[in-house]
Amino acid sequence: GAVVSQHPSRVICKSGTSVKIECRSLDFQATTMFWYRQFPKQSLMLMATSNEGSKATYEQGVEKDKFLINHASLTLSTLTVTSAHPEDSSFYICSAQSGQVNTEAFFGQGTRLTVV
């Protein structure tokens, strides 16, 4: 299957700082990427849908000014957690798909964010 690479895999940051997470589709063009957050022993919760060249669509309850998403190319989307707080500590995972509807979603390896 296709490869989606996510970096970094782990990051520790201080409260109040910002962290950028990258999601790259290595061997296909991803017109749509999704960002999920997963707390321990819980399911994946969709945060936002990122479309290349347009603004991201955020799920209800997700602060768009806190979780900045950029999808500047067909192979790269970034999630920036701004002014991070300990409650933002979580596992963040991206997924990417080609332009077709209901095709397989390929997930990045995830980023474990710890805010201290």
Partner 1 sequence: GENVEQHPSTLSVQEGDSAVIKCTYSDSASNYFPWYKQELGKRPQLIIDIRSNVGEKKDQRIAVTLNKTAKHFSLHITETQPEDSAVYFCAASGTGTASKLTFGTGTRLQVTL
Residues that bind partner 1 (CB under 8 A): 1, 31-32, 34, 42-46, 49, 57, 91, 93, 95, 97, 99-105, 107-110, 112
Nearer to partner 1, 28 or 107 (CB): 107
Cβ closest to partner 1, residue 3 vs residue 17: 3
Q: How far is the CB of 48 from partner 1 (least distance, A)?
A: 10
Neighbours of 62 (CB within 10 A): 17
Q: Which is nearer to partner 1, 81 or 94 (CB)?
A: 94
Say which residues have a Cβ less than 8 Å from residue 35's Cβ, sequence separation at least 6.
Answer: 23, 46, 47, 48, 50, 67, 69, 77, 79, 92, 93, 94
Quote the least distance from Cβ 42 to partner 1, whole Å. 7
Rounded to an integer, what distance in angstroms lies between the CA atom of residue 74 and that of residue 88?
27
